[in-house]
Amino acid sequence: MAQYSRVRGSVALLRLTNPPVNALSAAVSRDLERAVRSACADSAVRVLVLRGHGGTFCGGADIRELAGLVDVPFRVGVSSLVALVDAVEAAEKPVVAAIEGVALGGGLELALGCHFRIAHGQARLGLPEVTLGLLPAAGGTQRLPRLVGFPAALELVATGRDVSAEEALALGLVDHVTDGDVEEAAVEFARRVADEPLASRRLSTRPPPRPADLDTLLQVALERAQRRARGALAPVACVQAVRAAATLPFTQGLQLEQELMAALLPSNQARAMQYCFFAQRIVGKWSLPGGANWRNSPARAVSRAAVIGLGTMGRGIAVSLVRAGIPVVAMETDEKQLRVVTAMLEREAAKQRRSPDSYLQLVQFTLERRDLGDADLVVEAVFEDLALKKRLFAELSSSCRPDTLLCSNTSALDVDALAAATRRPELVVGMHFFAPAHVMKLLEVVCGARSSPVAVATAMQLGKRLGKVSVAVANCPGFAGNRMLKPYVEQASFLLEEGATPQQVDAVLEDFGFAMGVFRMSDLSGLDVGWRVREEAGLAGPTVPPGESARRRHGCRYSPLADLLCEHGRLGQKTGRGWYLYEGPGGRAATPDPWLHDFLDQYRRRHGLRPRRIDQQEVLERCLYALANEGFRILEEGVAAGPEDIDTIYVLGYGWPAHRGGPMYHVAAVGLPAVLSRLEHFRRLHPDVPQLRPSALLRHLVAEGSPPISRWRELLKGLRSQL
Ligand SMILES: CC/C=C/CC(=O)SCCNC(=O)CCNC(=O)[C@H](O)C(C)(C)COP(=O)(O)OP(=O)(O)OC[C@H]1O[C@@H](n2cnc3c(N)ncnc32)[C@H](O)[C@@H]1OP(=O)(O)O
């Protein structure tokens, strides 16, 4: 796990070995500590270099131990890591960290215990513990501000953002960056500093910097963390721990860090976030009914891509591809959109500290379909109209290379219908990006009935290359994410009919932790999007069969409220009014609109609906349980392979709070029998709402004694699977 060998006579080279990411389990930490002590005791050694095996320094403490997934009490893991970092820092001989790949979490804390840090130019460094519902508890919150100052330390610890080697150098987090061999550079560096005094290099003994405005800075950071946390405990605890570095001596700061960690570690929030971490890895292990899977189906290389349509989605997709270094041919007729995407690329280049040209030269704009001919993969991102897309796919099928993958960014339309329009249905898949596509981390890869393993593998792999988490789902209207959104939005509308207001419903959902309540979200994405879909489905507008009553469709309850707002020209933020009022078209600040309240009153009177007081619990249960119930149906039909897929989609694509794990994790945590009983209750009250009828899978799981969510995937294998 950790050995040392002597190089160049007096340098002890310690190699941390625990593939795949050299995680610091309790045993590995203890082993490394022993190796450090032996090297220090070796009289032939003057200086130590610490590196990781296999191109990675260290991915941090072993999350499986922290999450209680292996049989090691988490306190043992924490204390072993603390002891290791302390021993490294206390060493009487200089210790140089040679960082390549990543130094994350406990890995960076270990590097902070070293007296010097050398990084490879491609390395990334950070303290992502907050994303696991934790804080850095091996002295990271106390050492980091002493090294890089409070503003940077507060930001890095509270957000979990990782930094490039270049930024780390600018912050003072590392002493030197090399693009050559990091071990060689570190050994060379170590020989130069072998005789340097170490007192000032031990961060625990350094006085923290004290800028004049420190108190204000700490107060602002705490308030910001509280505001942004949306109920999550860890970001606030992170700021409290870093603040202790300003007010307490090192050992007392460390003590507070440990106490905060002891409170976070066993919390439900930390459990939920660690579940999310592993869920996001599980979803990469896809399989198809024929036996093809992530292991046996290699992806095809994508060295050139094409994007058709540079509207909101297309331009985000183009930027993502360019940022990943993939040359893009972008087809768009509207010159305004070309200017927008050029400006976006310039901004992105500046953010990545790259020259604008390095990005712009990767894009070729075109009006000609023949210019797409050479692409390995085409992503279509035109208007959401099935006939238009089918025509386009038929044309692409004749004009592109026979092996080019044809992908659609549709958010709900039938991928099999698109495939059937081509002469290569096996090379057609859905690649459903989420807006803004260069920011959102989720990609739904929609596997059509005829999509080949290579098409699925390539789309999944491309998502990863773009820095996204790819989730494979089967083809059905709305796929997994948007399909589950429908009953959720419907319940919210029914609640308005029954007496709630948009701000009441949104406040409950935002208190739960959603980034945005359902009505604010709908205003942001535009009410006309759903209106068009409902018109196509014969639910709204001229396609509704004559004689159908306003509040019923196909014998079931229907709320026409959103359609009525659209008919009044209230399309959301873009028109300056929707469920809320905005400063003007394109405005962002939502305020309650008296017009809307009058409109709701009149609507209720017109339909003989007597408004009643609706409490928070009913809002939450009806919206969230209806959504999760659809999730069970999706699992039952094999549209998604397991609860982890659904939860990943909701956390990364729909603003579901990670500290609540995702919709399926949430209902499992509430308790399946309780959820079933509430759904049955609501179903009795609303017999004309089929979405409230508990799914067969939910009933089955309850009948089986509510097995833990970690077992559902296995149980589902016995059911009908499309994946
Ligand atoms: C005092 C105690 C406090 C300590 C605090 C901590 O240190 S908490 C841990 C902080 N570290 C992290 O949050 C890093 C988590 N890991 C990652 O971000 C990424 O895995 C990576 C290191 C950047 C590597 O990414 P890559 O895409 O190359 O690989 P995968 O993400 O697919 O991971 C490969 C497998 O490794 C498992 N794994 C990764 N990190 C850890 C870890 N710290 N502990 C345990 N296991 C880890 C991951 O689960 C993958 O394995 P699977 O079997 O496929 O699930």
How buried is residue 406: exposed, middle or buried, by Cβ count under 10 Å (0-12/13-18/19+)?
buried
User: Which residue's alpha carbon is at the smallest distance from atom 25 of ligand 1?
Assistant: 21
CA 197, 202, 207, 210 torsion-angle sign: positive
Same domain, 111 and 58: yes
Largest CA distance in the chain: 95
20 lines ligand 1 (CB under 6 A): yes
Residue 130, ligand 1, Cβ within 6 A: no
C-alpha closest to that of 668 among 634, 637, 610, 624? 624
Contacts of 47 (CB under 8 A, 6+ apart): 10, 11, 12, 93, 94, 95, 96, 190, 191, 193, 194
Nearest CA to ligand 1 atom 16: 59
Q: Is 465 in the pocket of ligand 1 (CB under 6 A)?
A: no
DSSP output for 482-532: HHHHHHHHHHHHHHHHHT--HHHHHHHHHHHT-SS-HHHHHHHH-HHHHHH
Residue type, 280: Q
* Residues labelled as active-site residues: 109, 129
162 CA distance to ligand 1 centroid (A)? 14
Residues 125 and 182 in one domain: yes
How many angstroms separate the alpha carbon of residue 201 from the centre of ligand 1?
29
Q: Is 102 in the pocket of ligand 1 (CB under 6 A)?
A: yes
Q: Which residue out of 16, 21, 122, 134 has the highest number of ligand 1 atoms within 8 Å of its CB and is therefore the one to mutate?
A: 21
How many other CB atoms sit within 10 Å of the CB of residue 482? 19
Residue bearing tokens 């930001």: 155
Q: CB neighbours of 525 closer than 8 A, spacing ≥ 6?
A: 435, 572
For residue 431, the CA-to-ligand 1 centroid distance in Å is: 26
Verify that 319 and 231 share a domain, yes or no. Answer: no
Residue-number span of the structural domain to which 505 is assigned: 500-606
pLDDT in the model for residue 685: 97
Pair 602, 627 in one domain: no
Q: How far is CA 481 from the centre of its chain?
A: 14
The pLDDT value given to residue 71: 67
Are 227 and 166 in contact by the 8 Å Cβ rule? The answer is no
Kindly state whether residues 602 and 622 are assigned to the same domain: no
Q: Does residue 242 share a domain with residue 185?
A: yes
Q: Are residues 210 and 316 in the same domain?
A: no
Tell me, yes or no, whether 123 lies in a domain. Answer: yes
- pLDDT computed for residue 263 by the predictor: 94
Shortest-distance atom of ligand 1 to CA 64: 45
SS3 404: coil
Closest residue CA from atom 17 of ligand 1: 59
Residue with CA closest to ligand 1 atom 48: 281
For residue 59, give the ligand 1 atom closest to its CA.
Answer: 22
> Looking at the domain assignment, is residue 314 inside a domain?
yes
Ligand 1 centroid, distance to 52 Cα (angstroms) = 14
C-alpha 484 – ligand 1 centre gap (Å)? 30
Pocket probe mutation, ligand 1, options 29, 63, 465, max atoms within 8 Å of Cβ: 63
Q: Does the C-beta of 283 come closer than 6 Å to ligand 1? A: no
Which domain-ending residue is among 221, 247, 266? 266
- Which of 220, 245, 266 marks a domain boundary? 266
Between the CA of 714 and the centroid of ligand 1 the distance, in Å, is: 23
CA 413 from centre of chain: 24
Whether the CB of 105 sits within 6 Å of ligand 1: yes
User: Is 281 among the domain residues?
Assistant: no
DSSP H helices, 400-448, are: 415-420
Residue 715, domain CATH: 1.10.1040.10
- Decide: 113 in ligand 1 pocket, CB within 6 A: no
Q: Which of 572, 587, 606 is the last residue of a domain?
A: 606
The CATH number of the domain holding residue 165 is 3.90.226.10
Q: Which atom of ligand 1 is nearest to the CA of 61?
A: 7
Residue 326 and residue 433 share a domain: yes
Asked if 369 and 396 sit in the same domain, the reply is yes
- How many residues are recorded in the chain? 723
What is the spatial distance between Cα 103 and Cα 51, in angstroms, rounded to a whole number? Answer: 10
pLDDT profile of the chain (723 residues), mean per 10: 83 96 96 96 96 97 86 73 97 97 98 98 98 97 98 97 97 97 96 93 95 93 93 97 96 96 94 97 94 96 96 94 96 87 94 91 91 93 92 95 96 94 97 95 97 98 98 96 96 98 98 96 91 86 82 94 97 97 94 97 97 97 98 96 98 97 98 98 97 96 96 85 64
**293: which residues sit within 8 A by CB, 6+ positions away?**
285, 286, 287, 453
Which CATH number characterizes residue 459's domain?
3.40.50.720
Q: Is the ipTM of this complex over 0.90?
A: yes
Q: Is 21 in the pocket of ligand 1 (CB under 6 A)?
A: yes
Q: Are residues 149 and 129 in the same domain?
A: yes
For the chain, the helix, strand and coil percentages under 3-state DSSP, each to the nearest 5: 55, 15, 35
DSSP state of 68: T
Q: Is residue 495 one of the residues assigned to a domain?
A: no
Characterise 256 by phi-psi region: left (phi > 0), alpha (psi -120 to 50), beta (else). Answer: alpha
Ligand 1 in reach of 81 Cβ (< 6 A): yes
Alpha-carbon distance values, 439 to 101, 122, 419, 455 (Å):
23, 21, 28, 24
Cα separations in angstroms, 42 against 15, 50, 192, 684: 17, 16, 19, 77
Does any domain span residue 213?
yes
pTM of the model: 0.95
User: Is 331 in the same domain as 422?
Assistant: yes
Whether 643 is covered by a domain: the verdict is yes
d(C-alpha 356, C-alpha 358), whole Å: 5
- Neighbouring C-beta atoms of residue 707, cutoff 10 Å: 13
**Closest by alpha carbon to 474, among 625, 289, 350?**
289
CA pair distance 564, 527, nearest whole angstrom: 10
DSSP category for residue 620: H
Dist. CA 676–CA 625, nearest whole Å: 9
- Tell me how many domains the chain contains: 4
Q: Is residue 491 part of a domain?
A: no
Assess whether 622 and 542 both reside in one domain: no
Question: Distance, CA 183 to ligand 1 centroid (Å)?
Answer: 23
Ligand 1 proximity of 694 Cβ (cutoff 6 Å): no
**63 alpha carbon – ligand 1 mean position (Å):** 7
Residue 524 lies in a domain: yes
